Structure 1
Amino acid sequence: MSSISTHVLDTGLGLPARAVPVRLSRITADQTVLLTEGATDDDGRITGWEPGLEPGTYQLRFDVAAYASASGQSIFFPEVTVTFTISDERHYHVPLLLSPFAFSTYRGS
């Protein structure tokens, strides 16, 4: 089974994005099931999620509006949703790079 972690960096401030609420869900043909949720630590990371993910489609939802409000920023995207496929038994790291008017993500290591 696979594991997952994430890391959010505020590239506008040049700092880790602390206390970003994140939800991990599994998506099937008929439903979306919330598996776990948490918030990024002082280094912008969530590393403790080890739910034993089987192959399938998953989604990370980053509550950017909550982070923007807490950090006194105005950010164009109130949430970022990243949908991805797990196909084998490896660790999956999905970072998010965030700025006031843009974001990007990639498959990390």
Structure 2
Amino acid sequence: MAETGIKFGKLTTHVLDTAQGCPAAGMRVRVYVQHGDHQHLIADAVTNQDGRVVPLLPEMPAGEYEIVFSVGEYFAAAGLGAEPRFLDDVPVRFGTAGAQHYHVPLLVSPYGYSTYRGS
């Protein structure tokens, strides 16, 4: 591979189901890159038995991104939550500076969530 001078970071995630006290295995996670007023899907994955997708993006240039966690679908499959769903897709928008590791964990229940930049 030729050296381009572009520095890439990587993206990982870990989802914990705080309602059941376990990793959120089998949750769909999509990643979009923002381009002005539109976005493009660049990753579509499912969390493993540990609630992780590692790496979600092995190479990620600087830019603006959105991770969408399919929380409503996950809790419906687990028989938790009510209809209509309080939470459905949970989007997390963030920016990156390039050659760094970005870890975006999600702590989630059928009625609330929390996220932060992890390590």
| Paired residue total | 109
Distance 1:62 1:96 in 2: 9
Offset of residue 30 of structure 1: 3.5
1:20 partnered with 2:27: yes
State the structure with more CA Rg. Answer: 2
Q: Give 2:88's aligned residue.
A: 78
Question: Counterpart in 1 of 2:113?
Answer: 103
1:88 corresponds to which of 87, 94, 98: 98
Is the partner of 2:48 in helix, strand or coil?
coil
Aligned residue number for residue 75 of structure 2 = 68
Residue 51 of structure 1, CA deviation = 4.1
Runs (4+) of structure 1 exceeding 6 A deviation are: none
Residues in 2 aligned to 1:66 and 1:39: alpha-carbon distance in whole angstroms = 12
Q: Tell which deviates more after alignment, 2-11 or 28-37.
A: 28-37
Write the letter of the residue equivalent to 2:14. Answer: H
Structure 2: distance between partners of 1:34 and 1:20: 17
- TM-score, normalised relative to structure 1: 0.94
CA RMSD of aligned residues (A): 1.2
Gaps of 5+ in 2: 1-7
Contact 2:60 2:98 in 1 (8 A): no
Selected match of 1:59 from 39, 59, 66: 66
SS at match of 2:73: helix
Q: Which has the higher strand share?
A: 2
SS of corresponding position for 2:60: coil
Displacement after TM superposition at 1:12 (Å): 1.2
Identity of aligned residues (%): 40
The answer as to whether partners of 2:71 and 2:110 remain within 8 angstroms in 1 is: no
